[in-house]
């Protein structure tokens, strides 16, 4: 179990510089995040990423693919704008995810991750089946590309997520889906305690984010993200439960601020997590 970090690919990103920074922070792995459709359809982008990864000795543990259209990270407009749940955005976003899976294949990356959105808890909700069909299409492409389609936690309860994965597996086959477990998201969306969530879907976890946060205190807005060790994620117990569940992959730090404070928090989080992994 290693500690890695999120690397974001944008139109003006110098990936060689990014990977050099990862190594300078004493890390050897990352999850590569991209919301830019232009990048995932650029043959030269994949070549540049592979060259930089080899040069700096960086393992890309997962490719995190975003999607286009309006997105609001709250409890109201988020229901209407996030992931594959909103029918108005669904078809176009599926196309981008299919393209993203093909891009991840060029990188030799097996784990393909996204936010699916506020998956309906009621399996008889018409929107549940529509979302499920979209997920199946993405999972089929991932399977064809030798990948596993991972749900990033947060917007759905653990039971809803497990049901969706089981329903997808009935059509696409066992092992086609998994979980990218962001423990802070489960808290910040008010969906679950991440330690307890492992009892629900622990066998599906293939990736983990190192992030911390607090429960929401307002019915409209997410809880606050804070530096690792300063929130409500019980990391000592969480890491032990990961080990008990058989997880031996990376914990990839995500700190959603910018500047020097972000780097300071990442390095402090790395030291904290490495002590727990010990």
The residue among 245, 230, 101 whose CA lies nearest residue 181 is 245
What is the residue-level pLDDT of the chain in tens, covering all 278 positions?
999 999 999 999 999 999 999 999 999 999 999 999 999 999 899 999 999 999 999 999 999 999 999 999 999 999 999 999 999 999 999 999 999 999 999 999 999 999 999 999 999 999 999 999 999 999 999 999 999 999 999 999 999 999 999 999 999 999 999 999 999 999 999 999 999 999 999 999 999 999 999 999 999 999 999 999 999 999 999 999 999 999 999 999 999 999 999 999 999 999 999 999 99
Number of domains making up the chain: 1
What gap in Å lies between CA 151 and CA 82, rounded to an integer? 13
With the CA atoms of 91, 96, 102 and 106 taken in that order, what torsion angle do they form, in degrees rounded to the nearest 10?
180
Structural domain containing residue 92: 2-277
What gap in Å lies between CA 246 and CA 229, rounded to an integer? 23
Collapsed DSSP state (helix, strand, coil) of residue 192: coil
pLDDT at 224: 98
**Strand 3-9 relative to strand 251-253, pairing:** parallel
What gap in Å lies between CA 4 and CA 6, rounded to an integer? 7
pLDDT at 207: 98
What gap in Å lies between CA 235 and CA 227, rounded to an integer? 12
The residue among 254, 270, 239 whose CA lies nearest residue 113 is 254
pLDDT at 176: 98
CATH number of the domain within which 96 lies: 3.20.20.150
pLDDT at 43: 86
């Amino acid at each position: 179990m290693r500690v890695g970090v999120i690397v974001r690919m944008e139109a003006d990103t110098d990936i060689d510089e990014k990977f050099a920074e990862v190594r300078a922070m004493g890390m050897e792995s990352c999850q590569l995040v991209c919301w830019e459709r232009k990048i995932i359809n650029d043959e030269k982008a994949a070549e540049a990423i592979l060259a930089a990864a080899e040069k700096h000795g960086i393992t890309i543990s997962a490719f995190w693919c975003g999607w286009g259209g309006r997105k609001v990270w709250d409890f109201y407009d988020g229901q209407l704008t996030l992931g594959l749940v909103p029918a108005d955005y669904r078809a176009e976003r599926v196309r981008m995810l299919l393209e993203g899976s093909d891009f991840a294949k060029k990188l030799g990356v097996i784990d393909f991750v996204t936010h699916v959105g506020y998956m309906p808890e009621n399996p008889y909700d018409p929107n549940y089946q529509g979302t499920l069909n979209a997920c199946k299409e993405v999972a089929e492409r991932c399977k064809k590309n030798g990948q596993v389609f991972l749900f990033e936690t947060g917007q759905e309860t653990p039971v809803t997520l497990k049901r969706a994965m089981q329903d997808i597996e009935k059509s696409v086959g066992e092992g086609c889906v998994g979980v990218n477990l962001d423990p802070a998201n489960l808290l910040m969306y008010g969906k679950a305690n991440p330690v307890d969530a492992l009892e629900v879907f622990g066998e599906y976890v293939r990736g983990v984010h190192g992030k911390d946060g607090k429960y929401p205190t307002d019915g409209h807005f997410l809880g606050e993200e804070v530096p690792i060790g300063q929130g409500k994620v019980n990391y000592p117990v969480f890491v032990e439960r990961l080990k008990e569940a058989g997880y031996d992959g990376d914990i990839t730090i995500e700190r959603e601020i910018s500047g020097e404070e972000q780097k300071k928090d990442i390095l402090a989080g790395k030291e904290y997590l490495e002590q727990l992994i010990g």
